[in-house]
Amino acid sequence: MANSTNQKTSNFLEEQVVHDLDTGLKVDSLKFRFPPEPNGYLHIGHAASLFLNFGLALKYNAPIYLRFDDTNPTQEEQKFVDAIKEDIKWLGFKWSEERYTSDYFQQLYDWAILLIKKGKAYVDDQTSEEIAEQKGTPTNMGKNSPYRNRTPEENFDLFQRMKLGEFLEGARVLRAKIDMASPNMLMRDPIMYRIVNKAHHRTGNDWHIYPMYDWAHGQSDFIEGISHSLCTLEFGSHRELYDWFINQINIEKELVPHQFEFARRNLSYTVLSKRKLGELVEKGLVSGWDDPRMPTIAGLRRRGYTPNSIKSFSEKAGISKRDNVSDIALLEHSIREELNATAQRVMVVVNPIKLTITNYDKEKEILEIENNPENPQSGFRKVTFSKELIIEQEDFKEHANRKFFRLTLGKEVRLKGAYIIKANEVVKDSKGKITEIKCTYDPKSKSGSNTEESKRKVKGTLHWVSMKHSVGIEVRNYDRLFNDPMPEGHEGKDFMEFLNPTSLTVNKKALAESSVEKAEIGDRYQFQRLGYYRVDENSNASNLVFNKTVSLKSSFNPKNTL
């Protein structure tokens, strides 16, 4: 059992938990929840709430419920339920119980009838436009609905008929009777139920009315005995209504839940609205919710991010009381830092040009090259070296200035893990394009041989692949989905105007060293001098596909976050 007096707190919400424990709340009464709506995939913004709620539950040995807020059958599907559960498990979390707001539909309905009988709720026949206009503005009080004074008996009859599906969608709603002059617009007779004549993914056609978020949220917390209902800041103005509803149905429970707010997680160069992410999917601008360019947990996983890197990002970004934007470079830094320490190095050439070592007279030789210089325990791998090699086209210039430290005629470079070579001549096709570089090598300059020649300093080191011992692979280079840091921040412009047209480039003719033949889906590598990559689910025995996770380097300083 946790003792609040010796717990180091990590944010202001945990301080609230500790305060409540210190002022009488029993540790056994602590209970948290994570309540996603199954209308899309979880994204990096949800990670803040995930790590917060599950982290507090774990630290204080308290239960946490995974509750699906399934109150809108027009948008919710079982596939989203399954995807959310998969993401949470992948992040390493376990929930105490799995619940659904639909589990409480009958109880919520019964409580709504209780409010009707108490004269605290009424059926309104106005259109949504009429209700919105009649609510007034923040500076002008609202006007009472002409249906506000219906008798409890009439309201009860109409509400029952709404439930049975006698009316068309939009014909009637159930509203709470609170105060049309309240300075809080949400307290001006909010809608509790609307008619939706569509099948629900769990309850089928049992219901024709569905509870609104404000009615279902607090009551679900109350039913489950949640002690701390943690929401993002936009729900701060909802707290008064949250408390009002609970006070109407309070049946003398010892524990009454309380809502607390924190800032939502925003991220530069992307959008974190499930509706807008859904638009990208529906319009075919991305391949799906798990497209590696998407900020969804599934997309990040497919791109090559790890649970630890997402946790590291969440910890560095922190929990705030004010809305802010985290730099996407902080997220990239988190995975780069991890992969630098853990990823096996391999050599891959994406834009090949042939390089022939004219004085190499062996058929081949096997070199042993370290898997990860950051981790001596990672060992070595065997790489085949031969007379005919492949290097990157951009690593050679026939003529270059002094600032070009790669291969050029008459100059030397080292081949990674192998020998020092010198370019002597080129072969060109009929159009003058270079098709082959002819070199000589210093046979005594082998890396790690401890000879004087091997210790010679040359300014450039290139990666390479043996032509006859290479593996063809597909390389998908992903970049940021948007080319503007705030794609939603331009008045009068649609966020899609800022989509990055080069966020994905595909190379199906890359060549890799033969060690990648054994790569399996999910394996992560550093392609030396190119970046970090993960084996994609689209891979098969005849075609390995690698997704670029992140570049090797960045000028980003994690101390200077947005």
What's the rounded Cα separation, in Å, for the pair 533 and 474?
A: 11
Identified catalytic residue from 67, 175, 188, 264: 264
The helices-and-strands tally (H runs, E runs) of the chain is 12, 29
Identified catalytic residue from 33, 202, 274, 548: 274
What's the rounded Cα separation, in Å, for the pair 77 and 81?
A: 7
Asked if residues 36 and 46 have their Cβ atoms less than 8 Å apart, the reply is yes
Q: How far is CA 212 from the centre of its chain?
A: 27
Q: How far is CA 355 from the centre of its chain?
A: 42
37 is catalytic: yes
Of 305, 303, 294, the closest CA to residue 272 belongs to: 294
274 is catalytic: yes
Identified catalytic residue from 37, 279, 337, 388: 37
Close Cβ partners of 210 (under 8 Å, ≥ 6 residues apart)? 71, 72, 73, 193, 194, 196, 200
DSSP string, 24-44: T--GGG--EEE---SSS--BH
Phi, psi dihedrals of residue 95, rounded to the nearest 5°: -95, 155
224 is catalytic: no
Close Cβ partners of 456 (under 8 Å, ≥ 6 residues apart)? 420, 442, 445
Burial 52-62 (b: 16+ CB within 10 A, else e): bbbbbbeebeb
* Token couple for 229: 């209902």
The CA radius of gyration of the chain, in Å to the nearest whole number, is: 31
DSSP string, 5-25: GGPPP-SHHHHHHHHHHHTT-
Q: What is the set of active-site residues?
A: 37, 264, 274
